[in-house]
Amino acid sequence: MTFKKSSYWMFLIPCLLAITLVIIIPFIQGIYYSFTEYNGFQVAAFIGLDNYTRLISDGQFWDSMLFTAGFSIASVIGINALGLGFALLVTQKFSKITSTLFRTIYFMPNLIGGIILGFIWQFIFLKAFASIGEITGIDAFNGWLSDTNTGFWGLVILFVWQMSGYIMVIYISFLNNVPEELLEASTIDGANAWQKFWKIKFPLVAPAFTISMFLTLSNAFKVYDQNMALTAGGPFSSTEMATMNIYNTAFKIQEMGYAQAKAVIFLVIITIISVLQIYITRKREVDL
């Protein structure tokens, strides 16, 4: 009993219409805009590759790209290390309440939007850190968001704090699939916790790495809200991430065509990184 063609399309049309209107058409139009001097109201002139050649020597854009890349690397390491650590911790044999409590707490930042989280940490870095600096007399606690270097770590801390709980959930679901008999057998054979982790749990959660790395990497590259709320790119655009650079080019200085060229390059870079990452982590999975 096949699905009649007419009803098949009736079922599909709302979603297809939406993705066409929201992604496909804007995507094609975006590529076209990137070759023009579009200002948000009209296409002033078709200028070929001019936006792209201009982009090559745009130091500010590449600085933001580098900043984003560094941020992503630091975050990916931090998030996955802590996420896996939390997952191992909450899957220990505590009472159910303790385990749920820990889980809930680690996960909590995830439910709250980047803007609000950014402002929370703005308060921590500006006021609480200054206060700690005053009490302890350690100067390093002062002016965290007014310095490029500490601003960078501020963003990393915020993002690690936010995402670790999410990644923890992924690792938990893989750890739960580790057969209990395997662990019991290894206990009888005299394996310690460390050996159990490296020899049994770690290889079995390897596929989780592929997923977690993909999610953290692509999310880190696309961070915008947190950046906006925590440092707003300051001081002097030195903590401006790629997404904010694109946004500002488009909506602050209204150079939509040029911003679109940046967005196209951004898309290309993200795609390359994602594909490479999946290729590499998949390969590692087989090796293990």
Partner 1 sequence: MKQQKLSVYIYLFLGFITSVIWIYPFYLVIVNSFKTKGEIFTNTLGLPNDGTVANYPEAFIQLDFVRSFLNSVFITGFSILLIVIFSSMAAYALSRRKTKTSTLIYFLFAILMLVPFQAIMIPLVSIFGSFDMLNRFGISIMYLGLGSSLAVFLFFGALRGIPTSLDEAAIIDGCNRFQVYRYIILPMLRPTTVTVIVLNAIWFWNDYLLPSIVINKEGMYTIPLKTFYFFGEYSTQWHLALAALVLAIIPIIILYMFLQKYIIKGIADGAVK
**Least distance from C-beta 74 to partner 1, angstroms?**
18
Please say which residue, 75 or 243, places its beta carbon nearer to partner 1. Answer: 243
The tokens describing 215, both together, are 């999610």
**Under rule CB under 8 A, residue 107 binds partner 1:** yes
**Least distance from C-beta 73 to partner 1, angstroms?**
18
Cα-based distances in Å from 196 to 132, 191, 204, 227, 228 = 40, 6, 11, 39, 43
The three-state DSSP-derived secondary structure of 127-170 is HHHHHHHHHHCCHHHCCHHHCHHHHHHHHHHHHHHHHHHHHHHH
**Under rule CB under 8 A, residue 54 binds partner 1:** no
The tokens describing 108, both together, are 């909590």
Cα-based distances in Å from 162 to 157, 166, 286 = 8, 8, 31
Task: Name the one residue in this structure whose structure tokens are 């439910």.
Answer: 111
**Least distance from C-beta 137 to partner 1, angstroms?**
15
How does DSSP classify residue 109? G
Q: Which 199-238 residues touch partner 1, going by CB under 8 A?
A: 211, 215, 221-222, 224-225, 228-229
**Least distance from C-beta 229 to partner 1, angstroms?**
7
- Site mask for partner 1 (CB under 8 A), range 143-172, x = bound: ------------------x----x--xx-x
Q: 257, 36 in Cβ contact below 8 A?
A: yes
**Under rule CB under 8 A, residue 64 binds partner 1:** no
Please say which residue, 216 or 239, places its beta carbon nearer to partner 1. Answer: 216
Kindly indicate which of the ranges 50-58, 72-80, 124-132, 137-145 contains the residues binding partner 1, using the contact rule CB under 8 A. 124-132
* Helical packing angle, 59-90 and 96-107, nearest 10°: 170
Please say which residue, 127 or 284, places its beta carbon nearer to partner 1. Answer: 127
Please say which residue, 74 or 114, places its beta carbon nearer to partner 1. Answer: 114
**Least distance from C-beta 121 to partner 1, angstroms?**
7
Q: What's the first-to-final CA gap in the chain, in angstroms? A: 46
Half-sphere exposure at residue 176, Cβ-oriented, CA atoms within 13 angstroms:
7
> Which residue in the set 78, 83, 114, 154 belongs to the binding site for partner 1 (CB under 8 A)?
114
Would you call 221 exposed, middle or buried from its count of C-beta atoms within 10 A (0-12, 13-18, 19+)?
buried
Please say which residue, 47 or 124, places its beta carbon nearer to partner 1. Answer: 124
Any idea what the Cα angle at residue 169 is, between residues 168 and 173, rounded to 5°? 115
**Under rule CB under 8 A, residue 29 binds partner 1:** yes
The conformational region for residue 93 under phi > 0 = left, psi -120 to 50 = alpha, else beta, is beta
Please say which residue, 73 or 112, places its beta carbon nearer to partner 1. Answer: 112
**Least distance from C-beta 263 to partner 1, angstroms?**
5
Kindly indicate which of the ranges 145-153, 196-204, 245-253, 276-284 contains the residues binding partner 1, using the contact rule CB under 8 A. 245-253
**Under rule CB under 8 A, residue 260 binds partner 1:** yes
**Under rule CB under 8 A, residue 253 binds partner 1:** no
Task: Name the one residue in this structure whose structure tokens are 């911790």.
Answer: 89
Kindly indicate which of the ranges 13-21, 44-52, 69-77, 143-151 contains the residues binding partner 1, using the contact rule CB under 8 A. 13-21
